[in-house]
Structure 1
Amino acid sequence: MPPSDWIRRWSHLVRPGGTVLDVACGTGRHLRWFHERNHFVTGVDIAQAAIDSISELGEAICADIENGPWPLTGRTFDAVVVTNYLWRALLPKIVASVAPGGVLLYETFAAGNETVGKPGRADFLLQPGELLGACAGLRVVAYEDGFLTEPERFVQRIAAVRAPLEAPRAPRRLPL
């Protein structure tokens, strides 16, 4: 499966050569995309087979992030990528994993999807504006909440950046 159009569209926001975390990475379609563009990649997934399939790309972590501890405590990344995955309790940890100057690229199913397919349980569908609320403190570059036709699905997706650490100020020029 090719990388998400949303992830490809906003991948230019990631610092060249920067670190990329893919949460619930599966077999690594986005890790491969970023690895091919010379980024250092880390993937986390519950499935050992998925982790085995991406281990040659970079750091591959097998972890049950829904029931166990967050395996990346204290670490931040130049990009955090999440697609087709929602576990609300992790949203603050995912957002906190975005480094200063980094970007969150998130795309998953939204309310309404139950009318066209799976997932259909409210536990796995973002409510209107929910992703925006989770990204409070980040600057939203792009946000969409609506229906897509190929394949039919309701999604919310966001590209949001964390402010960089304060840059050094240029010396002031004094008049002569």
Structure 2
Amino acid sequence: MTHTHTHTPAPSPWITRFSALIPAGRQVLDLACGQGRHARYLQAQGLQVTGVDRDGAALQSLQSDTAGEWLQADIENGAWPLEGRLFDAVVVTNYLWRPLWPRILASVAPGGLLLYETFAQGNEAYGKPSRPDFLLQPGELLQVCAGWSVIAYESGLLRSPERVVQRIAARRPRGASSLPATPLP
């Protein structure tokens, strides 16, 4: 068997650090999974991985040598391919499409984890992406995860390669609803 993924970049240290909180055997969604650097890592940790990407060639490479469910879908322009499905963790890296926030959050099972890392405002000084549409605003991940239990959050400049990112590890509340509780009078 030839391993075509020898050039797959290493997984993000943020993802490897916090994926340790996901019990073995659980269901994980890797959204915009690309070549599968995180899907492969998570699968090797004994997790059941579902990957979604619009790049059919990248998914074919994953299908050829990695157990999991690989869905080709254009999640920005097409139908959401995971309607009604919940995952014990959702991983998103280097991807931002704000209209999907409600879908992404709704895909995390109560008590489940969101591990998100992408480029933030300030990255335009270091290269692409540089359009505001693709860069998180200051504190945006904290706002998106309001009402969730934030395990860790970082924002700032990373080296080699130089880039500005925001990243969060947050746990969805176990309550029946994701709506905030009514404050007491």
TM-score (norm 1): 0.91
Q: 2:43 aligns with which of 35, 56, 59?
A: 35
What is the identity, as a one-letter code, of the residue corresponding to 1:121? R
Q: Does 1:8 align with 2:35?
A: no
What is the identity, as a one-letter code, of the residue corresponding to 1:76? L
Residues of 2 paired with 1:50 and 1:94: CA distance? 21
Residues of 1 paired with 2:29 and 2:147: CA distance? 19
Q: 1:151 aligns with which of 149, 152, 161?
A: 161
Q: Using the TM superposition, give the Cα deviation of residue 15 of structure 1 relative to its aligned residue in structure 2, in angstroms.
A: 2.2
Q: Using the TM superposition, give the Cα deviation of residue 63 of structure 1 relative to its aligned residue in structure 2, in angstroms.
A: 0.2
Q: Using the TM superposition, give the Cα deviation of residue 164 of structure 1 relative to its aligned residue in structure 2, in angstroms.
A: 3.1
Moved more, 37-46 or 55-64: 55-64
- The count of residues paired between Structure 1 and Structure 2 equals 166
- The aligned residue for residue 183 of structure 2 is none
What is the identity, as a one-letter code, of the residue corresponding to 1:139? S
Residues of 2 paired with 1:110 and 1:19: CA distance? 28
Q: 1:24 aligns with which of 29, 32, 37?
A: 32
Q: Which runs of 4+ in 1 moved over 6 A?
A: none
What is the 5 A alignment of 1:10-89? 10-55=18-63, 56-89=66-99
Q: Using the TM superposition, give the Cα deviation of residue 165 of structure 1 relative to its aligned residue in structure 2, in angstroms.
A: 5.4
Structure 1, unpaired ranges of 5+: 167-176
- The aligned residue for residue 131 of structure 1 is 141
Contact 1:66 1:87 in 2 (8 A): yes
Contact 1:31 1:57 in 2 (8 A): no
CA offset digits 1:17-67 (Å, max 9, x no partner): 110100000011111111111111000000110111112421000000000
- The aligned residue for residue 171 of structure 1 is none
CA offset digits 1:102-131 (Å, max 9, x no partner): 100000000000011111111100000111
RMSD over aligned CA atoms reads 1.2
Aligned residue for 1:52, secondary structure, equals: helix
- The aligned residue for residue 169 of structure 1 is none
Q: 2:102 aligns with which of 83, 92, 111?
A: 92
Structure 2, unpaired ranges of 5+: 1-8, 177-185
